[in-house]
Each structure stands twice: as C-alpha cells, then as structure tokens.
C-alpha cells in the first residue's frame, strides 16, 4: 500500500494553508513514528511506501493529535517516535518537551535548567533550531530574555501566532 503524505489544508488561526514547517513537522512525525528515513528535501510533497494497517493507524493518530492541537483541544502530544540527533540535542529536546502549554521560557532559563554555562547558549540555540518536530517539541515556547521573539523554523510571525493560540501572549490587534 502507498500512502500519499500531502500537506493537509488545516484551517486554523495560525494559518489558512499549510506552511512548510507544518508539512515538515507532519512528515518528520510520520517518518519518526514509522521509524523510516525521509530525504531532507522531501517535506514538500512525498509519496512514501507504508505497509500494514498498524502503520496507517499510527499516521491517523498523528493527524488526529495535530488537528486537536489546532482546535484547542490538545495541550500535550502523546506520539511515540524514533529518536534522532546527538546526545546534546536529545537532552535539549527533552527539556523542550517539558515546557508547559500556554507558557514560555527563555534561552537563559533553559540553559540554567540544563546546567549549561553562558558560553553554551549558542549551542543551545543551534540544538533548538535543529528540532525536527516543531509542535511536538515546542521550541516556539522559547523566547529572548527581554521577551523578544527569536528565530523559529516556521517563521517568527508564526511563532507569535502559536504562542497566542496557546494563550501565552495576547494576539496582535492589527
């Protein structure tokens, strides 16, 4: 059986059409859940062979949880996925998973929580930036010490909209 993993047109307050980061997240989740490797450039439109009813159920669960998140009915993902990344990246990513829905933390606070020195902040930022599972590992919840929005793979304006969606900041009035 072959399943087409095309970007679903999910209408949300965050976007009326799927962003590249949303598609990357969905495909990274699919690849991770099914424990397969996808080519780096495969996040636009991909056809990947998927076998077995269990695989289809697992993919459906990923989609269900993403839709529930955007509907405001899910605040924490429960998706088993294969691990990737270096030991340092995995350590940072586990810390990201513990940032509660509707809250933010700073790069400095996250570094302190992980016992990193100040000269490790750049490595921390790089590990956050390498996170392939943008919503599941909520890197959008990490902001600058002054409250500024730092980089986000999905774009800073989408980061702001995600934080507003979660109630961590007020939506823009203009």
Q: Please tell me which residue in 92, 134, 139, 160 is annotated as part of the active site.
A: 139
HSE-CB of 94 using CA atoms within 13 angstroms: 10
User: Taking the complete model, does pTM exceed 0.75, yes or no?
Assistant: no
Of 137, 134, 139, whose CA–CA distance to 124 is shortest? 139
Q: Find residue 105's DSSP bridge partners.
A: 142
pLDDT in tens, 106-163: 999 999 999 999 889 999 999 999 988 888 889 999 999 998 898 887 788 888 988 9
- The yes-or-no answer on residue 40 being catalytic is no
| pLDDT mean over 58-81 | 85
CATH topology for the 87-165 domain: Arc Repressor Mutant, subunit A (1.10.10)
Delimit the domains of the chain by residue range. Answer: 2-71, 87-165
Token duo for residue 53: 């009813």
């Amino acid at each position: 059986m072959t399943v087409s993993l095309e970007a679903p047109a999910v209408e949300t307050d965050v976007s009326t059409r799927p962003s590249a980061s949303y598609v990357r997240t969905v495909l990274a989740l699919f690849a991770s859940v099914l424990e397969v490797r996808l080519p780096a450039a495969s996040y636009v439109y991909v056809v990947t062979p998927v076998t077995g009813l269990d695989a289809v159920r697992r993919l459906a669960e990923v989609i269900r949880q993403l839709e529930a998140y955007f509907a405001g009915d899910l605040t924490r993902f429960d998706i088993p996925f294969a691990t990737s990344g270096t030991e340092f990246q995995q350590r940072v990513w586990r810390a990201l998973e513990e940032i509660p829905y509707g809250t933010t933390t700073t790069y400095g606070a996250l570094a302190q929580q992980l016992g990193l020195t100040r000269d490790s902040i750049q490595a921390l930022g790089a590990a956050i930036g390498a996170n392939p599972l943008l919503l599941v590992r909520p890197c959008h919840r990490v902001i600058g010490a002054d409250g500024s929005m730092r980089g986000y793979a999905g774009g800073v304006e989408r980061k702001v909209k995600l934080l507003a969606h979660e109630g961590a900041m007020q939506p823009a009035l203009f």
